[in-house]
Amino acid sequence: MKFIELNLKEQLLEALSYMGFENATPVQEKAIPFVLANEDLIACAQTGTGKTAAFVLPILNKLVGKQDTNVDTLIIVPTRELAIQIEQQIQGLSYFLSVGSKAVYGGGDGKDWELQRKALKEGTDIIVATPGKLISHLKMGYVNFKHVKHLVLDEADRMLDMGFFDDLTKIISYLPKKHQTLMFSATMPSKIKTLARKILNNPKEITLAVSKPAAGVKQFVYLTYDNQKQQTLKHILDEKPEYDSIIVFTSAKARVSEINRYLRKAGFKSKTISSNLDQSAREEVLREFRAKNVRILVATDVMSRGIDIKEINMVINYDVPHDAEDYVHRIGRTARANSKGEAFTLVNPKDFHKLRKIEKLIEDSVPKLELPAAFGDAPDWNAKSPSNGGGNKFKGKKKPFHQKNKKNFKPRNKPST
């Protein structure tokens, strides 16, 4: 469906045309009419499907001709990166509109706090905020949410995973009882449904491509031992010299610097990004990566959601994510907006069970590639995964004396007290 068929006002259509957008994605096609009709909505759609524009466009449409500066829309997101990204998208889409917006997040200095305070107190059309920082402002008593008409919870599942349930409930208590609530989530666990029942009023529901990688992602696995991972990583990168935008994911912050040091020593242009960096440093790294001044970004899962970097050629999972859903979000960084991309995952024997969970989730088997012979023997996929704890802790070991000789074993008498 084309955007001109969605009853959007001319100023928005002009902005979309200016940005080169003509056709709506499925989630935009389904969500925009509900938002325009003032229906509460819960939408489940994976990363990279255009869900930000699915709520931003109809809200901007409603703001055309707004005269006052009261806060009309509050968008809550889990991370500062996502807050920045959404506010930038609002600015782009509202280029031909008179709409103000402000991102509210932590990590800045006193000047940032003052600008946030002013927007929350005096008003601006749209506030995009992380829960923790917004709570800090609410406690000061100057926030004016009396005129909020729209509440958007984006990446709602991620916010609940991060423990923001109580913060969200508190924030909502500051809003007028009558407002439209839009909840967007990449997954739909039971806790999301619980929150939806609590804060949404007879919502419409949209579910699209839950937990399925984008069709344009070619997925591959290398079965490796830990001591083969670095050379396997180099092998993958050497095989794709034409790729100029690559993310290497690891689940451990401590491993980010180790991987980066190896890559730089091997001659690759790489940098790191994790929650250890302050906000200005993270933004600088992202700017360099977007500008293609840095070919490889080594990242933790802070990058797996909420970062809008187009034309990422390849994602490499240096280790398997803890959660099968996170695998989908990681590889969703590539092949966005119907483009193509590749995703490689390095899997050691103790993570075989995680890969099986991923394959069950995506309902597909990921092709296993052979390691170069020079790397030595690879793990056997058909071998049983090592135990991750539990069960009989003496399995495969010598049993203690009292277990081998149960019939003849008599415990020593306890000393008298």
**DSSP type of residue 334:** S
Whether 327 has a pLDDT exceeding 70, the answer reads yes
Q: Are 31 and 54 in contact (CB under 8 A)?
A: yes
Tell me the HSE value of 84 on the side-chain side, using a 13 A CA sphere. 17
Whole-number Cα distances in Å, 193 to 44, 157, 160, 203, 221: 11, 10, 11, 11, 34
Query: Please, are residues 178 and 3 in contact by the beta-carbon 8 Å criterion?
Result: no
- The pLDDT of residue 409 is 43
pLDDT at 19 over 90: no
Give the pLDDT confidence of 145-185 residue by residue, as tens digits: 999 999 999 989 888 877 898 999 999 999 999 999 999 98
Q: 113 falls in which pLDDT band (50, 70, 90)?
A: very high
Q: Distance (Å, rounded) from C-alpha 300 to C-alpha 348?
A: 18
Task: Give the mean pLDDT of 277-290.
Answer: 82
pLDDT mean across residues, the chain: 86
Q: Is the pLDDT at 387 greater than 80, yes or no? A: no
Q: Are 306 and 259 in contact (CB under 8 A)?
A: no
CATH 3.20.20.70 fits 3-208, yes or no: no
Residue 302 pLDDT greater than 80, yes or no: no
Using an 8 Å Cβ cutoff, are 89 and 52 in contact? Answer: yes
| Residues pairing with 150 in the sheet | 73, 180
- Which parts of 64-164 fold into alpha helices (H)? 80-93, 110-122, 131-140, 156-161
CATH numeric code, 217-375: 3.40.50.300
The more confident residue out of 80 and 247 is: 247
Query: pLDDT value at position 210?
Result: 53
pLDDT of 213: 74
Q: Tell me the C-alpha distance between 312 and 317, whole Å.
A: 14
Q: What is the DSSP string of 170-209?
A: HHHTTS-SS-EEEEEES---HHHHHHHHHH-SS-EEEEES
Beta bridge pairs of residue 343 = 219, 315
Domain ranges of the chain: 3-208, 217-375
Alpha-carbon dihedral of residues 87, 89, 92, 97, nearest 10 degrees?
A: -60
Is the pTM of the predicted complex or chain greater than 0.75? no
How far apart are the C-alpha atoms of 47 and 213, rounded to whole Å?
9
Give the chain's end-to-end CA distance (angstroms, integer): 84
- Percent of the chain topping pLDDT 90: 60
- Check for a shared fold between 3-208 and 217-375: yes
